[in-house]
Amino acid sequence: MKDLRNSFAAIAKAFSLWWGDWANQVLVCLAAVLLSLTVILALPAYIGVLEQARDLTHGARTGIAGMWSGFRRELRRSLPWGLLNLAASAVFGFTLWFYANSRFVFAPALVVIISAAALIYFIWQYFSLACYTLQEEKKIKLAWQNALALLLSRPGVMWLSGLLGAALSFVSLRFFIPLALGSPALIALVSLTAVQQALRDGAETNRPES
């Protein structure tokens, strides 16, 4: 029950921060969307959104300047990561399309399994990006490990926020209009506040009793 309350608290904080700086977040997201039209720059652009969102969680409104600084700084390191996720998306997308349009008896079950695997992969990568932004040592492998550890150790906080992030991402890509309203920044803030809350919960759990 405590994990559930903390999860809602983290989500509420994300919405509050986003709404309080909405005008800046819309400009940041428009810049990110324009960069994402190249496809290959989509993930570096999102990391730029995360960078300024991290600043916002610490009380600094860096806006478009913070986004652009993060984008340029992390461009080279994030490009291979983006290509990996692009390839994974292509594999998931093709296999889902293939089995959804096939007449195999076991095709519906495979569609469900592949959809679940794609969702789990998305949530893992979603929080890996947040961990990468928050951690001092900028190593992708470490971000993957940290995200997996949090998903397993603090499931109450992480998975609810992850499902919300997935839903917001789907709606934004499906209908496009939310992208113009600043949804990428909200999606970034949801992941960051969830990770920050999970880390606080972990620190409280491991704190020795006096």
Q: Is residue 15 in a domain?
A: yes
d(CA 81, CA 104): 34
d(CA 70, CA 190): 18
Whether the predicted pLDDT of 63 surpasses 80: yes
Whether the predicted pLDDT of 208 surpasses 60: no
How confident is the model over 68-100, as pLDDT tens digits?
Answer: 999 999 999 999 999 999 999 999 999 999 999
- Can you tell me the mean pLDDT for 5-14? 90
Angle in degrees, CA 69, 30, 65, rounded to 5: 20
Q: Is residue 57 in a domain?
A: yes
The pLDDT mean for the chain works out to: 91
Q: Is residue 210 in a domain?
A: no
Q: Is residue 25 in a domain?
A: yes
Residue that wins the pLDDT comparison between 163 and 207: 163
Q: How many CB atoms lie within 10 A of CB 83?
A: 13
Q: Is residue 124 in a domain?
A: yes
Range of the domain at 188: 2-205
- Can you tell me the mean pLDDT for 20-37? 94
- CA count, 13 A, side-chain hemisphere, 139: 5
| pLDDT value of position 113 | 96
d(CA 86, CA 136): 26
- The total number of structural domains in the chain stands at 1
The residue with tokens 């340029």 is 72
Cα 124 to the center of its chain, rounded Å: 8
| pLDDT value of position 210 | 46
Whether the predicted pLDDT of 3 surpasses 80: no
